[in-house]
Structure 1
């Protein structure tokens, strides 16, 4: 498995990974009707451009299997998704390590994200903190309960 910067050509696969991961992991944490709305529709040109501009992808077995992005101005991490058939293999951890490395490279003091309810334990295991609940407003019009989380970065030594 390796991680690389995404390209515009990766956008359809990234969109499919997002949908697959949401449907595989968020059931039981959110109403099915909300998941249907959140995963509906077709890939927009703005999503494709966001992939090309900001995403990193994990590649395994010759296929894209995970995505992540970070805003290197604000330190906000988003779009961390792993294809359901590849979950539990360390891909999410590797993507998060890459995002942290990018944050450290530009001197960010902290990184943050809005976790889905099901993913909060994963992020806590990576050193993120946060227990309060908030509302994430999807561009598709669905409101989802989330957990805002932050991780303070340690300075690199050596």
Structure 2
């Protein structure tokens, strides 16, 4: 597996991975109706541009199997998704380590994210802190409970 900067050509597969991962992992934590709204529709041009600008992808045997993004101006991590058939193999952990390394090299002292309820235990296991709840309001019209989390980075 290797992680590389995404290109505009990675946008369709990134959108598909997002949809598959949400439907596979979030179904026991959110109403299915909300997940349907959250994952409905076609990929937008704004999403494709965001992939090209800020996403990274993990690739195994020339197949993109995971996504992740970081805004190096704010330290916000988002869109960390793994294809369901590749979950549990350390790919999400490797993606997070890569994004954190980028943050450290950019001089950031911490990173933050809003974790879905199902993902919060994963983020805690890799050093993130946070137990509060906020409501994430999607541009698609769905509101989801999330956990704001932060991780303080080593400044070696």
**TM-score, with normalisation over the residues of structure 2?**
0.99
Matches of 1:9 and 1:47, distance apart in 2: 12
Q: 2:74 is matched with which residue?
A: 74
Structural RMSD (CA): 0.5
Q: 2:103 is matched with which residue?
A: 103
Matches of 1:77 and 1:87, distance apart in 2: 19
1:65 is aligned to 2:85: no
By how many angstroms is 1:62 displaced? Answer: 1.8
Partner-residue secondary structure (3-state), 1:20:
helix
Matches of 1:68 and 1:25, distance apart in 2: 16
Q: How many residues were matched structurally?
A: 156
Matches within 5 A, 1:24-103: 24-103=24-103
By how many angstroms is 1:61 displaced? Answer: 2.3
By how many angstroms is 1:74 displaced? Answer: 0.5
Runs of 4 or more above 4 Å deviation:
none
Matches of 1:19 and 1:139, distance apart in 2: 15
Partner-residue secondary structure (3-state), 2:19:
helix
Partner-residue secondary structure (3-state), 2:145:
strand
Q: 1:149 is matched with which residue?
A: 149
Q: 1:123 is matched with which residue?
A: 123
Matches of 2:138 and 2:56, distance apart in 1: 21
Partner-residue secondary structure (3-state), 1:140:
coil
**TM-score, with normalisation over the residues of structure 1?**
0.98
Matches of 2:135 and 2:64, distance apart in 1: 30
Matches of 1:50 and 1:120, distance apart in 2: 24
